[in-house]
Amino acid sequence: MYAIGIDVGGTKIAAGLVNPNGEILHRFTHRAHAEQEPAVVIDAIEAAYRAVVRQSGVNPERIRGVGLGFPGNTNGPAGVVLVCSNLPAWNHIPLRDIVAGRIGRPVILDNDTNLCAVGEHRYGAGRGAKNMVYVTFSTGYGIGIIINNRLYVGHTGTAGELGHVVITVDDGPPCTCGKNGCVMAYASGIGLSRMAYQAIDSGADTSLREVAAPDRRRISGEQIAAAAQQGDTVAANILHTAAGYGGVGLSMVVQILNPERIVLGGGLTRIGAPLWEPMQAAMRRHTQPELWDSVQVVPWQLGDDIGILGAAAKVFSDTEQ
Ligand SMILES: [Zn+2]
């Protein structure tokens, strides 16, 4: 038996045929992405599914199901996308049933970070932990929650929106969700770039000016980390601020959920020690000692395959129950 995991991301759609051991046997990448209209994305999902089936030569009857990981808010149990990409056309689209109708196989849908949590729990750094939280520190900031070995999604599927918890009382910076002062307005790729442009606009003496663009194209975490490494104190402070708020987020996870393990992943974690160290320091500073003593914080293990493996892992775990 196999599962197909399909990760609908912000720049591409990645699909893979996965066996129960968590090995990706065949892959296909489509250039469509989640910032496009539903009709385009639905066609691309179907094309990616058919390409993987064709490449592998597997009889579709042996595919237990297709897992779809989606950015934005989803109601996984209902199979519905609630909000995505600030494109109104996505609101309340019953994507699971539309795709299932196209391909004739069972489909599960969930938020991408939730599925990453399932993937790390089944195949990665979360193995063996009954209560685990996956934290993604990438373009955005969010968590997926495993309680008693099961994904916890809440009443309407949107549990884990830690990135959009407001941590400033007044006048916080704008967030992509429309509120002000969310964790993600600092602790994310979007937050890092925002703080970089804010420093540039205020006339700060920083080499980040050289990578800024008139269209305010995002300045990446890697660019900010590289500037910090070369002694740019403005860049170092921005990194420190993002890491500090990321650590505040981790402390909230520990204070509220008391997990056994936190798995920290996402592209920004590749910055390494300049991000990890201040983040862990902030987490400790803001967490009661008897609580942080009880939790391990470990890096992810699935890396760039996490989206495909997480979506497939959810198919396997759902069909085992
Ligand atoms: Zn927000």
| Confidence (pLDDT) at 121 | 98
- pLDDT one-digit tens code per residue, 185-217: 999 999 999 999 999 999 999 999 999 999 999
Task: Name 124's Cβ contacts closer than 8 Å, sequence gap at least 6.
Answer: 263, 300, 301, 302, 306, 309
- For residue 179, the CA-to-ligand 1 centroid distance in Å is 5
Q: What dotted CATH number matches 2-122+304-320?
A: 3.30.420.40
Check: CB of residue 96 under 8 Å from CB of residue 225: no
Ligand 1 midpoint to CA 177 (Å): 4
The structure tokens listed for 290 are 């008897």
Residue ranges per structural domain of the chain:
2-122+304-320, 127-300
CA of 189 from ligand 1 middle (Å) equals: 13
Q: What does the DSSP 8-state code read for residue 127?
A: T
CA 195 / ligand 1 centre spacing (Å): 15
* CA atoms within 13 Å, Cβ hemisphere of 16: 21
Between CA 77 and CA 111 the distance in angstroms is 11
> 245, 246, 286: which is closest to 266 by C-alpha?
246
Fold match flag (2-122+304-320 vs 127-300): yes
pLDDT number for residue 321 = 66
* CA of 41 relative to ligand 1 center, distance in Å: 25
Q: How many CB atoms lie within 10 A of CB 167?
A: 15
Ranges of the chain whose pLDDT falls below 70: 321
What is the assigned CATH class of domain 127-300?
A: alpha beta
pLDDT at 167: 95
Tens of pLDDT along 235-294? 999 999 999 999 999 999 999 999 999 999 999 999 999 999 999 999 999 999 999 889
In what side-by-side order are the strands of the sheet with 261-265? 150-152, 141-147, 132-137, 261-265, 296-299
